[in-house]
Amino acid sequence: MNKNRRRVYEGKAKILYEGPEPGTLVQHFKDDATAFNKQKHQIIEGKGVINNRISEFVFNRLNEIGVPTHFIRRLNMREQLIREVEIIPLEVVVRNVAAGSLSKRLGLEEGAALPRSIIEFYYKSDELQDPLVSEEHITAFGWATPQELDDIMALALRVNDFLSGLFLGIGIRLVDFKMEFGRLYEGEMVRVVVADEISPDSCRLWDVQTNEKLDKDRFRRDLGGLVEAYQEVARRLGILTEQDQRERKRPVLVKTDR
């Protein structure tokens, strides 16, 4: 791996490096966990490796059903090759069940079913702590055009329907999740694609039977067992970590009668 490659951007949980070809980047998953606008910070060993695998899995499935994304392929334990996009400065949250900031803001009990899936937009700004904004703000300030916003909402609902079914099939309720979108420039063309990551860091995932939290709320709420919870999500998705695969390839002692 080229250690002298240029770092394009460093965020809370990921680093972006320049990629091997123009128009590509390498997305590196760190073990850092942060919450409450970085007031809470911890290194959780192994988190980055699992998120790289889970996000790879989700983005591959999205690419397969024709949802455009920035994802090209996973490179190694912590890194994936992605297309360079211009990030639209919005965190797009889709909610199916009341939880987190929605429960607080509107006084809804966590776990209450919502009348329908709800899309929210937050303006990406650390200084302002990602304020909730409306479509009016987004188009008036030019963060996205009305056409882009239409595309974002259609894609967000499609991803929500697909992922809700995918997770329900493995006994997990997709309570809510956050997505980011980017502009992909292809010659004269520009289109909106799903970017960033989709992992237990950016989703609320509850076990259908027990309501056990299998997501970053384990860190936010000091519940412990974060890596084990993320591993459980990976296991149910049928993802084996490279270590598991190595262990499986070990010779197995076969007992005989003699």
Which spans of this chain sit near ligand UDP (rule: CB under 6 A)? 91, 93, 99-102, 130, 176-178, 202-204, 216
Residue whose CB is less far from ligand UDP, 124 or 158? 124
Q: From the CB of 198, what's the least distance to ligand UDP, in Å?
A: 9
Q: From the CB of 121, what's the least distance to ligand UDP, in Å?
A: 11
Q: From the CB of 217, what's the least distance to ligand UDP, in Å?
A: 8
Residue whose CB is less far from ligand UDP, 176 or 232? 176
Residue whose CB is less far from ligand UDP, 27 or 202? 202
Which DSSP state fits 13? Answer: S
Phi, psi at 59, each rounded to 5°: -65, -35
Distances (CA, A) of 143 to 100, 128, 178, 227, 234: 25, 16, 17, 35, 35
Pairwise CA distance, residues 56 & 197, whole Å: 8
Q: From the CB of 178, what's the least distance to ligand UDP, in Å?
A: 3
- How many Cα atoms are found within 13 Å in the side-chain-facing hemisphere of 115? 0
Q: What residue is closest to ligand UDP based on CB?
A: 100
Cα dihedral 71, 52, 218, 31 sign: negative
Q: From the CB of 1, what's the least distance to ligand UDP, in Å?
A: 28
Residue whose CB is less far from ligand UDP, 216 or 218? 216
Residue whose CB is less far from ligand UDP, 130 or 232? 130
Q: Pick from 196, 209, 182: which is nearest to 51 by CA?
A: 196
Pairwise CA distance, residues 127 & 141, whole Å: 17
Which DSSP state fits 143? Answer: S
Q: From the CB of 6, what's the least distance to ligand UDP, in Å?
A: 26
Place of tokens 């995932």: 205
Amino acid present at 124: K
* Neighbouring residues of 41: CB distance < 8 A, sequence distance ≥ 6: 32, 33, 34
